Amino acid sequence: MGLMACRYCGQIIDLDFSADSESDAIEYATLKCECDEAQKYQTRISYFERAKKAIEEEFTEDYLKALLLATVQHVYDGKIYGITLKVDGENTVKISQDSKGNIFVTKLFSTGSKIQL
Ligand SMILES: [Zn+2]
């Protein structure tokens, strides 16, 4: 049991368990808080959990999964609009975003599959 403040608004949240460390406790408090910034953070976390799962289902190479997920995070944050990666002579993988903000990972040439994140 423990009390910890939300990282964004400082509201004290009652955790229903003991966290391993203060930084873990802050993380859990922030994940439970209902302030606007905490909710944006929660949305972001769950988005990337889904994106990671989708990427892991579609790709097998660890370096590629890590690179794609990192890129998707930058696209989500508006730092990168998209990339085209030429991979190992066979695949070209494209990450793009449509006007509604949906992010897509597209495999070109091989299977031609396209996943929406
Ligand atoms: Zn908060």
pTM value?
Answer: 0.77
Provide the pLDDT for residue 111.
57
List, as ranges, residues with CB under 5 A of the ion ligand 1: 6, 8-9, 11, 33, 35, 38
Provide the pLDDT for residue 89.
62
Give distance in angstroms: CA of 85 to centre of ligand 1.
38
10-residue stretch averages of pLDDT, the chain, 117 residues long: 91 90 94 96 94 92 93 94 84 90 84 70
Provide the pLDDT for residue 112.
63
Provide the pLDDT for residue 108.
82
Give distance in angstroms: CA of 4 to centre of ligand 1.
11
Q: Are 16 and 29 in contact (CB under 8 A)?
A: no
In three-state secondary structure terms, 18 is coil
